[in-house]
Structures are given as C-alpha cells and as structure tokens.
Chain A
Amino acid sequence: MQDARIRLASAALVSVAAFTSTWGALAVFLWWLVFSPRLQRMKNRMVILGMIVLISAVALLIWISGGDGFSYFLRMGVIVLIGSWLYTEQEPGDFLSVSVWALGRRTGFDLGMIGECAMQHAESLSRDLVRIQIATKLKGEAWGVRNLVPAGFILIHDALVRADDMSEILAVRGYHKGGVLCPGFQRCHWDWVAGICAICAFFFAIIPVSEFFILYQ
C-alpha cells in the first residue's frame, strides 16, 4: 500500500475491528490475506513468532480457566499480524508527512517527528539486540534467560544516550517548535480498494450482524 494516510487509517480501523469481535478478527484476517504481502516481506519474523507463542500460552490459560481462549488467540494474533504489516510497510518520513498533512506545521510537525524518532529508536533497539546476541555468541556463551537483564539495561542505556544525542543535534540545528514540510503521497487504485474494505471490516465488527439477521427473520 503506497499511500501512508490510507495505510495508517486502515491499520487503525482493522485493529479496532479485530479487537472488537471474533467475527471482526476473521474479517480482518481475510483483509490481511488479500491486501498485505503476508509473510513474504515480514520483518522480525522471530519476534512475531515469539509474540504468537506468548498469545497462544495466554489463550490456553484462558481456555483452561473456562474463558474463550480461541477468541482471544484469534483477536490478538490478527492484531499482531496487522502491526507487523504496518511496521513492514512503513517508510522513513511517513509519520511526519501524515501528521503534517492532518494537523499542520506546528502540532503536526512535532507529533510526526516524535513518531519518526520512535520508529527510528525501534529499529535501533532491534539492531542493538542482534549485536548483543552476536557478541554473546562470539564470547562462546549461549543466549539465554540470564542474558536478558544485562541486555535490557544495555538497550535502555543506548536508547537514552541516542535520545540525548538526538535532542542535542536538534537544539544545535536550531529546532524550537514546528517546521515546514510539504507532504507528498503516492497512491494507486488498490489503495482505495484496501481502504474501503478496511472500513467495511470495521462496520462488520461493530454492527451486531447476527442480531440484524434475527430481526430480519
């Protein structure tokens, strides 16, 4: 999906739809199958797999305690897939462009820049974790649970240092508030189709369709 505005709006709508009901989650899963590149371009597959395993464990506990574990698994699993799709499709500058387009050069620029910084930090954290795992492997240690605490501290420290550096650079370059940006978006017909289908999935999830059919009968 090329247009970042349609992509972000669609992601928001289908996330709400998937969270609202099991049928909504099924509709969003179909939407994901049709409009995303599915597993082909998915980034951080191991992280996604880990999250699915975690969701499965929680769903199993819910099911054992008498709750609807299947519904939980389906809804959360689909939300993870949508999040992964959004992360994969995201291009640098998308947040800034959409935010400036929606909220203007003052608030929009600031919020967009915060979003961009957050995405950049997420990428950096992911890279840092990989290099800590490589360093551990080079030292002849196996990566395990006991590495998580020091790795977590190092990741947080690095993220804080990076944030500090970033704020200094922005201050040195004269940033105070807001900024000028002329956002440009590319789109194709398929973007519109995906967006309209996301709206349909959203309404399908929030409107009690089964009750409508009971009334009709």
Chain B
Amino acid sequence: MKIVLNHLHVQRGAWSLVAHGTFEEGIHLVSGAVGSGKSTLALAMAGLLTPVRGTVEREDTKSLMLSTQFPEFHITGLSVADECGSWGLDFKTVIRSAKLEIDGDASPLTLSRGELKRLHLACVLARQYDLLLLDEPFSSLDCTEKERLCRELSGRDSGITIIFTHEQSIFPRVDQLWEITGGELCALGRTPESLTRWQHAPVLVKKLIAAGRCPRNLTPGDIREAACRTHE
C-alpha cells in the first residue's frame, strides 16, 4: 500500500507546487508555512484537483478520506443524527467518542466551529481508511482536544495517514517527515533523524536539538522525555 507522487506539478494562478515522492504505510507529517500549498497538495493527492503535470498513483488503497480544514465543508445532513448517518455511523456512538453533549435533532450548521470539528473528526476516525488525508486537523481545537486527537492518530497502526499542518505545539507519533519550502515538497526522512533537517520545526524542538537532546519522536511524551533527559 503506497501513494506515489510522480513529478506532480499543481498550479493556481501564478503560484505553483512541485511534489515528488512515495508515501508508504505509517503516519506522515507534511509541514509548511501558511499558504505554502498544503491544502492544494492534499486535494491533488485525494484526486480532487487535476495537476498541470505529473501523476498521483495510489497502489492498493481501496478506501480514501480527505478531511478538509473547514468541517462545514463536509456537512451533507440536516441534523446531527443525519450527518452521522451520512457517514454510516450511529449518532450516539459518535457523540460519545467526541465527548459532545448535543441533541441529535440539532442542525450541524448551528454548532460552533470547535464542536463541528470534533464531530467531524469523530466521524472520520470512526472508520479505517487505507489513505487518510487530514488537512489542518488541529485547527479549531483546544489543547485538550488536540492531545486527544494525537493519541487517536498515534494509535493508527495500518494504512497511510498524512497530516498536513502548520501546527507548532502538539503532534502525534510521526513516522516520516515532509516539508514544503520554496514551492517544493521535500522528503526529510524518518523520525527522529529527519528532525534535524526540519526548517519549520517548533522552537522547543530546535532548542532541544541544539542542546543535544534530540527527541525520539514528536509526541508530548517524547518532547518531555527529551527535555528532562540528563544524558544521552
């Protein structure tokens, strides 16, 4: 199971992005500044944007899901129960897993952005997809919810999970690190080796690396362990 970007070239007006590389099973983090092209790349990888040149080849990925940055973009149901039903899920199970206290008859359009994001992510993560593309999954979430989401994502042991984010504080376990700089997707390699090459690395990670305490991964536990490490 893998997804191959074969000299992919996507363009929007004067802006363009070039991507070449192979995403295999595991959790991938695609990092980049705001406006660097993360969402555009996610759309292209989901087959929702036609590239100018190059191809996206998905091998043995039978099921695909793209979670966009804006949860309201996924609403197709008139009530919360309908919305859960449109994902093929039971309303009560979803709100329990999202830790929400909302009525099934309520319109999803009346929920706050944070509530809607939690509901949407609960629907997405309730199913196992071979290829899961998460565009800014941490936006609109508070720290507690970000940590809970990271724990869920870190627990994914099959399929390809690609997280597109400019998040700088809380991360799940990451197997492979990618970065978009200067209109190009760069493969930085596997963690933890790739952390030293990460230009958009959070300040704390950079400081830990500078102090010779490179974290083993990016989870809050790994960062804490590196910060408290007294010797290598």
Which residues of chain A have a CB within 8 Å of any CB of chain B? Answer: 131-132, 134-136, 138-141, 147, 149-151, 153-154, 157-158, 161
Question: Is there an interface contact between B65 and A141, defined as CB atoms closer than 8 Å?
Answer: no
Question: Is there an interface contact between A138 and B74, defined as CB atoms closer than 8 Å?
Answer: yes
Q: Any chain A CB within 8 A of the CB of B109?
A: yes
A136 shortest CB reach to chain B, Å: 5
Stretch at the interface among B17-25, B76-84, B169-177, B204-212: B76-84
Question: Is there an interface contact between B65 and A138, defined as CB atoms closer than 8 Å?
Answer: yes
B47 shortest CB reach to chain A, Å: 10
* Residue picked from A132, A150, A153, most chain B C-beta under 10 Å: A150
A139 shortest CB reach to chain B, Å: 6
Question: Is there an interface contact between B77 and A150, defined as CB atoms closer than 8 Å?
Answer: yes
Question: Is there an interface contact between A139 and B86, defined as CB atoms closer than 8 Å?
Answer: yes
Please give, as numbers and ranges, the residues of chain A lying within 8 Å of B76 by CB-CB distance: 132, 135-136, 139, 141, 147, 150-151, 154
Q: Any chain A CB within 8 A of the CB of B15?
A: no
Q: How many residues of B contact A (CB 8 A)?
A: 18
Question: Is there an interface contact between A150 and B65, defined as CB atoms closer than 8 Å?
Answer: no
Question: Is there an interface contact between B109 and A154, defined as CB atoms closer than 8 Å?
Answer: yes
**19 other contacts beyond A138-B66, A157-B109, with CB at 8 A cut-off?**
A131-B73, A132-B76, A134-B73, A135-B74, A135-B75, A135-B76, A138-B46, A138-B64, A138-B65, A138-B74, A141-B86, A150-B76, A150-B77, A150-B78, A150-B82, A151-B76, A154-B78, A154-B109, A161-B109
Docked Cα-Cα span, A139 to B76, in Å, equals: 9
Which residues of chain B have a CB within 8 Å of any CB of chain A? Answer: 46, 48, 64-66, 72-78, 82, 86-88, 107, 109
Please give, as numbers and ranges, the residues of chain B lying within 8 Å of A161 by CB-CB distance: 109
Determine the residue in chain A with the shortest Cβ distance to B123. A139
Determine the residue in chain A with the shortest Cβ distance to B75. A154
B185 shortest CB reach to chain A, Å: 23
B117 shortest CB reach to chain A, Å: 15
Q: List 28 A-B contacts (CB under 8 A).
A: A131-B73, A132-B76, A134-B73, A135-B73, A135-B75, A136-B76, A138-B46, A138-B64, A138-B65, A138-B66, A138-B74, A139-B74, A139-B86, A139-B87, A140-B88, A141-B76, A141-B86, A149-B78, A150-B76, A150-B77, A150-B78, A154-B75, A154-B76, A154-B78, A154-B109, A157-B109, A158-B109, A161-B109
Docked Cα-Cα span, A183 to B194, in Å, equals: 55
Docked Cα-Cα span, A161 to B87, in Å, equals: 25
Docked Cα-Cα span, A165 to B191, in Å, equals: 44
Please give, as numbers and ranges, the residues of chain B lying within 8 Å of A131 by CB-CB distance: 73
Please give, as numbers and ranges, the residues of chain A lying within 8 Å of B65 by CB-CB distance: 138
Please give, as numbers and ranges, the residues of chain B lying within 8 Å of A149 by CB-CB distance: 78
Docked Cα-Cα span, A154 to B82, in Å, equals: 13
Please give, as numbers and ranges, the residues of chain B lying within 8 Å of A135 by CB-CB distance: 73-76
Determine the residue in chain A with the shortest Cβ distance to B107. A157
B48, B78, B109: the one within 8 Å of A134 (CB): B48
Question: Is there an interface contact between A153 and B78, defined as CB atoms closer than 8 Å?
Answer: yes
Docked Cα-Cα span, A157 to B76, in Å, equals: 12
